[in-house]
Each structure stands twice: as structure tokens, then as C-alpha cells.
Amino acid sequence: MLHSPAQRCLDVLELLAEAPEGLALSAVGARLAIPKSATHRFLALLEGRGFVRQDPASQRYMLTFKLPALAFRFIAATGVGDVAQPVLDALAARTGELARLAVVDGDTLTWVAKAQGAPRGLRYDDHAGREVVLHATATGKAWLASLAEERAIAIVERAGQIGRQQPGPRAVTTLAALRRELRATRKRGWGEAVEEGEPGVAAVAAAVRAQRGERAPVVATVSVAGPLARLPAARREALAREAVAAAAELAELWPARAALGDPRAA
């Protein structure tokens, strides 16, 4: 399979994103099956644009903060924080747990805002920028359940995660099991994950629509997550009601994002 230089540069960026301690030139080439000369050329290009730097002591290459800075600029320009942060702050305060917003981005979800409601003691917090594993998270299931079932299954199949990526011990491992989960999610009206995204963590999530009405497209999800020890079944149901209420509030506010210049608000 042939890869363009642009594709290879993106491969390098994705590889280095998983190696905060950096990688030697030879390691980058070996992991991506790229000749040493070409690897050096791609790294030099990325270094020249400020996306990569080489540590003078170890000679390892690592990402700079230019990519996160671009992401933060983009998020600020969409107006997500202006519209959603007060709702997340209130949700976190009411629940005493982590509240998060994920937006639909093509065939995936991206977490873009959060509020921590557990000020002390045992609490759960996420890792910014981590990929949403659709089949193993409450937020992923809440979104997938809003789609036609075959489309949802096709999205998960293309992602190639199910059966290969099992982040928590109770994550589903087959498409048949996922179908059952999505049907239960539709019937319940909210997504749930118990030790699926991570061991010892439970979460609930509700779909946010572009405007009021069940026919409006889902544009985001709002979720509440915390340690399983603090989220037994009865409390998850109560937290789900809070998430559904927050999602309805966000649906009222979402059209305001269009005025802030975000095309995804449409």
C-alpha cells in the first residue's frame, strides 16, 4: 500500500502522541516501517513546522505543544465553552462527579469540555485527548443508539476496536453483544457503561440534539462518570436523569453555537 508524504507525517504525529517520552529516529522508522532516510525527512519537516522537537540530550523526537494549542484555538472558536461549560459546571455540582461533553465529529466522538464535581477524596478524572472507544463507553453507546442500527454497527466495524480493544473487563467483544447493548440503550433512553471504558469506573450519558424534538440530529453527548464504588445501579439511574435534563438544556442552547460560527451546530 502506497502512502503519501502527508499521510506519513500524520502517522508520525499519531505515533509520537503515544510516546510522551519521545522516540529515537530508528524506533519511529521501525514502528512505521519507513526507511531511515525517509523517516528523517518527515521528522525534519515536522520539526521545521514546530510540531516536533528533538531532545538534545537523548536525541529522541517528541511532540511539542503546537497541536494542543491549535486544538484549543479551534475549540474556543466553536463557542463550545461559552455554551456548554455553565451546564457542565451545574451538572458536576449537582452530581458530585465528573461531567463531560463530547461532540459528534464525523464517525466518532471527541471530548471537548468537562467539569469536576468531586472536590476531594476518591474521584475519577479523564485523560484529555484520549480517543472515545464507542462500544465501551456510555457516551459512545448513547450516540450509536441514536443512529440506525446498521449504520451504528458499520461505524464500529470501520473503527476496528471491538474484539481488538477492550479497555475495561466488561466491555462487549462481539457485534452481536453490541447490538443487544444498543437496543437496551434505546429502550432505556440513556447510555450506561460499567467497567467497560476503564476498570473500576461507571458512567451514564445522554444524547444532545441540535434542537428540541426527537427527530433532531444528535450533535453531542453529556455524561457523568465516577468510581464504581460510588455509583451503584440505583445511583446510576438518578445520575442518568440528571444527564438527560442537562442534555435537554443543551439542546435549547445549541442553536446559539451557529451564531458563534460553528458549522456543526446546524
DSSP output for 167-178: -STT---SHHHH
Distance CA 34, CA 141 (A): 37
Can you give the pLDDT at residue 81? 65
Percentage above 90 pLDDT, the chain: 62
The reported pLDDT for the residue numbered 51 is 92
Can you give the pTM of this predicted structure?
0.73
What does the pLDDT read at residue 76? 62
Q: What is the mean pLDDT of residues 216-244?
A: 95
Compute the radius of gyration of the chain from its Cα atoms.
20
36 Cβ contact list (under 8 Å, min separation 6): 25, 26, 29
pLDDT at 73 over 80: no
Q: Are 143 and 218 in contact, with CB atoms under 8 Å apart?
A: yes
Domains present along the chain, CATH in parentheses: 5-64 (1.10.10.10), 73-265 (3.30.450.40)
pLDDT bracket for residue 255 (50, 70, 90): low
Residue 3 confidence (pLDDT)? 73
